[in-house]
Structures are given as C-alpha cells and as structure tokens.
Amino acid sequence: MTEELSPLKNVQKQIKNVCEKLGLEDSIYEILKEPERVLEVSIPVKMDDGTVQTFTGYRAHHSTILGPAKGGVRFHPNVTLDEVKALSAWMTFKCGVVGIPYGGGKGGVICNPKELSRNELEKLSRGYIRAIYTMIGPDKDIPAPDVYTNAQVMAWFMDEYSLLKGYNSPGVVTGKPIRLGGSLGRAAATGNGCTFVVREAAKKIGLEINNATVAVQGCGNVGGSAARGIERLGAKVVAMSDSKGGIYNPDGLDPNAVLEYKKEKGSVLGFPGSREITNEELLQLEVDILVPAALENVITGKNAADIKAKLVVEGANGPTTLEANDILVEKGIFVVPDILANAGGVTVSYFEWVQNLMNFYWTEEEINSKLENIMTKAFEEVYDMHNKFNVNMRDAAYMVSIQRVAEAIKLRGWV
C-alpha cells in the first residue's frame, strides 16, 4: 500500500513517523507537511519553426528555516507539482542531515529536452528564470542541475538572472561551469561522498573493506565516481551497469577501464573479460556491498527478499521503497539512505556557493577534504541516533535532520 502513495504523501508519512519517534509537538508536523510556498508559471517559447509553445514550470520552497532554499531544476515530460513539492521536502532533510545552512527547494519544467534544439532549450531556460526571478537569489533560493539539466543550463540561468539584476551574480545557482564560478570537485562529489559513507558503514558492521566485493548499479557521475572511489579503498568491484544492462567478473573489474570503454562504445556491455547480466541480476548478486546509483524504486517489495549484500548504500535518489527498506532491515542488511549517502553533491554545491560569495576559490584537494569531514561527521551523527533510538538508518537520518529543523522552528518562536 505504501508504494502506491504519491511522492508527497510518502514524504508526509515519513515526516509524521519521525515527529512521533522524536516526541515532537503536532505543530512541527503541521509546519513541515507542506512547502512554505509554491510558484506555477507559464513559459512561452518561440520555437525554431516560428510557432510559440507554452511550457508549464514550478518552483517550490519547502523550508527556509535553516537558510536559503536549495535544490535542483529538472526538465522532464513527467514533472508534476506533487513531485516537485515532495522533492523540495527531501532537500530540506538532505541539507539538514549533513548540517549545511540550507532549506529545501525544487523546480521543474514539463518538457522533453531531447525534442528541443539548443536554441529552444536556451530560450526555455532563460524564460524559466524570468518567470521565477522574484523567488530566487543567493540569499533566497539557489537552484542547481537535476534530471536533464546540466552545467550549460545553469550558465544560462546565472546569466539571465545577472542580466535582470544588472550585475554579475554567480551565487544564484550551483553546478555551473568552472569558468563561470563552478567548484572544482563538483562532478565527482556525490560519488565521493558515497565512498566516504561506504567506508564508515563498513567499519560499523565489521566488514573488512579490503576483502569486500561490490556491485554498483549506474555508471553516471554518481555510480562511476563511487565505483572508482570504493576501489581506491581496496574493495573489489565485481559488477557495474548502465541503462542497457550490466557486466560481471568475480575476479574484479577496473572501474576506470569500464568507464573509458563505456565512453567509447556507449555502453558497458561487451567489456572484455566480463559476463553480461541484467540490472535486476546485478541487484541480487552475492556481494558484500551494493550501491544502487541509477534509478529510483529499483529495490521493491517484490525483489527485496532476493538482495544478498550485507551493506546497501543508496547512491541514487529513492532506489529503495519504504516497504523494501523494512524487508532489508528485517534480513539484517545495513541500509544507508539516500539523504545521507548521496548528500555529497549538495555539500559541494554549498562549497560552490560559499566560494562565489567570498570570490575566493579552493583547490580540489581542499574541497575533497572538507567533503570528507562533513560526510564522516554526518554519518556518525546518524549512526548515534540509530543506536540511541534503536531505529533503522533511514529513520535515524530523518530524525537527525528534522530535530535540527524543529529546534530552529522553536528558537524562531514559530511554535
């Protein structure tokens, strides 16, 4: 039944559950169950053939209690207001769990970017910023890339906002190209953060990382960086995959070679010395560590009982349904949830914003060192909450975050 709920109903259920576990007043739930504000906009775009097409866009601020709203903008045909509202709430809790001074925001435009020319995509991007201009800013709301948006789209966002303000304002968005104020280390940040979490979680469950076998689903920025990073820890990556399928070699794969092969061939399939498997088979391999770093809802009530890993670290957003999470926990599998495991991306986005505001930039080594400190500290805080209340790590992560938000609500005098 849980899996059939809308994204917003699911996140509201999670908030309610955590508020009850922490013994918080009902008023805290009432404040957190809906976004503070939501904007729906219509964006007219003159297409290359001379016609005008109007696109619908959204921007939601779930919470600005801990700081400016922070969250990506996705360009996708299936964007809905319900989804944007839910994702804005998840961003509040993702920022809260790692202790960075942001609230949660999210945006989206209903479109299929694959059907748009570069010129049309630029017009849409600039039109979206004009439409939500009054809602964003370095001290109000800082958008970032998400599904089907990238550094180029962020460059257009930043430029259009700067033109409207009358001066250069790089801190209005993160995920920008380096030349326009982007941060070193941002591309690999989510995967690197995931690597630090894998290391810390392995210690807690007594798993010797040097002898561990690992399967990574997904070869994008997150999965690719995580595979490289986990191998550097001394583990053996035996399986990797992309949207077309996966590869397996019990003797180990070289993630760098696999990613180079994918770049050249367009897929990991056919990588020399490997056996082809499906993405479903990858999830069910006899490995020590499983990192789902591709799509959401890949581990469900239907296949959770077949997961054999000792440790599951969620590199993707929402790869495990709530029903599946309960099954994994009952099986004794240690699950590190997405709001902690993949928070490296928003953490380095925070570093980018700070650098923009200071107009002083750090080296990649400094970025990675700061990221490691924050991710390690956040993991310890969640693990302590997990032990203190005898709850699973997913509930513990939300409890750490919501407790911080609740404290800020009370200090501000909202309740």
Q: Residue 1's pLDDT is what?
A: 36
Q: Residue 230's pLDDT is what?
A: 96
Whether pLDDT at 174 is above 80? yes
Residues annotated catalytic, as ranges:
106
Which are the contacts of 397, defined by CB distance < 8 A and separation ≥ 6?
93, 97, 337, 339, 340, 382, 385
Whether pLDDT at 251 is above 70? yes
Residue type, 173: V
Q: Residue 127's pLDDT is what?
A: 98
Distance CA 240, CA 297 (A): 18
Q: Residue 45's pLDDT is what?
A: 98
3-state helix, strand, coil in the chain (%, to 5): 50, 20, 30
Distance CA 318, CA 90 (A): 10
Instruction: Say what the pTM is.
Output: 0.93
Q: Residue 23's pLDDT is what?
A: 96
**Is there a common fold for 34-169 and 189-341?**
yes
Q: Residue 315's pLDDT is what?
A: 94
* Better-scored residue on pLDDT, 243 or 175: 175
Confidence bin at 4 (pLDDT 50/70/90): low
Q: Which fold has domain 34-169?
A: Rossmann fold (3.40.50)
Whether pLDDT at 322 is above 70? yes
Residue 359 near residue 340 (C-beta atoms within 8 A): no
Residue range 142-173, pLDDT digits in tens: 999 998 999 999 999 999 999 999 999 999 99
Provide φ and ψ at 297, rounded to 5°. Answer: 55, 40
C-alpha angle 26-28-30 in degrees, rounded to nearest 5: 70
Residue 242 near residue 268 (C-beta atoms within 8 A): yes
Q: Residue 317's pLDDT is what?
A: 86
> What is the mean pLDDT of the segment spanning 394-407?
97
CATH code for the part of the protein at 189-341 = 3.40.50.720
Residue 83 near residue 71 (C-beta atoms within 8 A): no
**Residue reference for tokens 């964006």:** 43
Distance CA 46, CA 52 (A): 4
> What is the mean pLDDT of the segment spanning 84-104?
96
Q: What is the mean pLDDT of the chain?
A: 95
C-alpha angle 276-291-73 in degrees, rounded to nearest 5: 105
Q: Residue 330's pLDDT is what?
A: 95
Residue 53 near residue 47 (C-beta atoms within 8 A): yes
Q: Where are the domains of the chain?
A: 34-169, 189-341
Whether pLDDT at 5 is above 80? no
Whether pLDDT at 384 is above 60? yes
Whether pLDDT at 41 is above 50? yes
